[in-house]
Amino acid sequence: MKRTDIERRERELRRTEKKDMVIQRKTENFKAKNPAGYYIDNLASLFFYNDDQIFNCTKEVKIYEIIEQMKEDIPEKNWETILRKAIKKTGVIQKEQAFQELLPYLKS
């Protein structure tokens, strides 16, 4: 390889590392400023749904992990509200069914 190729690859590597650091810092800042919004966005992004219902409420491990983190970071009185807002953000018709499927995660 030529020296210019090696230098170009090193520059690209540094750019990707810097981009990852910026993204990580932004998510940490967002979580610190608005923890409820952070969890609402993350839960809504993990749901697999169509116009009618959410399909992966009980099957997705990452949803359970996000809820567990939320339970550590946010007071208990806000848990149901965050869950309802995340479901509402998807725009599905059967919101109450999805909420009832996810409710046991909050109790455990």
Question: What pLDDT digit, counting tens, does each position of 6-46 carry?
Answer: 999 999 999 999 999 988 887 777 666 678 888 999 899 99
**Residue spans per domain, the chain:** 1-33, 35-108
Q: Are 82 and 36 in contact (CB under 8 A)?
A: yes
> Could you give phi then psi for residue 57, rounded to 5 degrees?
-60, -45
Based on DSSP, count helices (H) and strands (E) in the chain, helices before strands. 5, 0
Q: How far is CA 71 from CA 4, 57, 65, 81, 103, in A?
A: 51, 17, 10, 12, 13
Question: What pLDDT digit, counting tens, does each position of 69-88 carry?
Answer: 888 888 889 999 999 999 99
Gyration radius of the chain's alpha carbons: 19
